[in-house]
Amino acid sequence: MSIQVGDRMPEGSFATMSADGPDSVSSADLFAGKKVVLFSVPGAFTPTCSAKHLPGYVQQAAQLKAKGVDTIACMAVNDVFVMDAWGKDQNVGDNVLMLADGNGDYSKALGLDLDASGFGMGQRGQRFALLVEDGVATGVYVEGPGEFKVSAADAVLAAI
């Protein structure tokens, strides 16, 4: 079963890129005492993800932060080097924290993993957005297959 409103976020960790190279952040450090928008894409550099999903959060970052969001984080089942390169390619700067869920463990823990092997992409995460307040999911926006509506930055902004 996938995460629901009112559920505590599962424990886990993500790879991130620091100035000194690959690093990690725990879910506890990411979510504790903060209001976080965590959105997930099926893959870095893929069409909808690069043309709409990530750019929407970069463009809406100030408006989200004005509504009390401390951190906007993008997660994908890609390695930390790909997520770092994608973030640079998309000019995310400090607006969006790029999180690598390299083996898909966090996507699985959320119950939002996706078998995309039919598209040659292996195991991935679904397209979704979560609003998390102090480690508890207060908004869960999971897209249907092939859709891009409820997890878009403007939809999440309107829901806050």
Catalytic residues: 49
Contact (CB, 8 A) for 104 and 77: yes
Residue 121, both tokens: 């992409």
- What gap in Å lies between CA 68 and CA 102, rounded to an integer? 29
Longest alpha-carbon distance in the chain: 41
Closest by alpha carbon to 49, among 156, 151, 159?
Answer: 151
DSSP 8-66: BPPP-EEEEEETTEEEEEEHHHHHTTSEEEEEEES-TT-HHIIIIIHHHHHHTHHHHHH
Residue 108, both tokens: 């699985």
- What gap in Å lies between CA 86 and CA 26, rounded to an integer? 21
